[in-house]
Copies of this chain bind each other. A is one copy, B any other.
Amino acid sequence: MSKFKKASVVKGARVELHDVLGLSGAEISVNGLPAGACVPFVHSHRKNEEIYAITDGKGTAVIDGESVELKAGDWLRISPSAKRQFFASAEEGLGFICIQVRENSLEGYTMADAIV
């Protein structure tokens, strides 16, 4: 089996990469909310930490009732149990990557895990 896999993602609708890339340590989705739109539910997680990267536009995350303003270049870590919902701004859509990983699953990393 090949030790790598590539996929090309066009911005727009939601793309989920777990099965496309054969991921085993994360699920990653690429998302776009049009201006004025929101993810239509509040959610939390059982075991997974979520990390969000804002790639385009602006919007707001509401996390346990607290509003966090978001713009391109922002990154956000959210604990599994926090209740979250994402909103695009009224004027601009919100593009973001969502990375799901199991909380506390990382052991060594970078130089502690690499072989150079």
Copies in the complex: 2
B99 near A28 with CB under 8 A, answer: yes
> Distance (Å) between the CB of A3 and the closest chain B CB?
4
CA distance A99 to B97 in the complex (A): 12
B104 near A25 with CB under 8 A, answer: yes
Q: Which residues of B contact A18 (CB under 8 A)?
A: 106, 109
Q: Which residues of B contact A8 (CB under 8 A)?
A: 71, 73-75
Q: Which residues of B contact A99 (CB under 8 A)?
A: 26, 28, 99
B116 near A43 with CB under 8 A, answer: yes
B43 near A23 with CB under 8 A, answer: no
A24 near B110 with CB under 8 A, answer: no
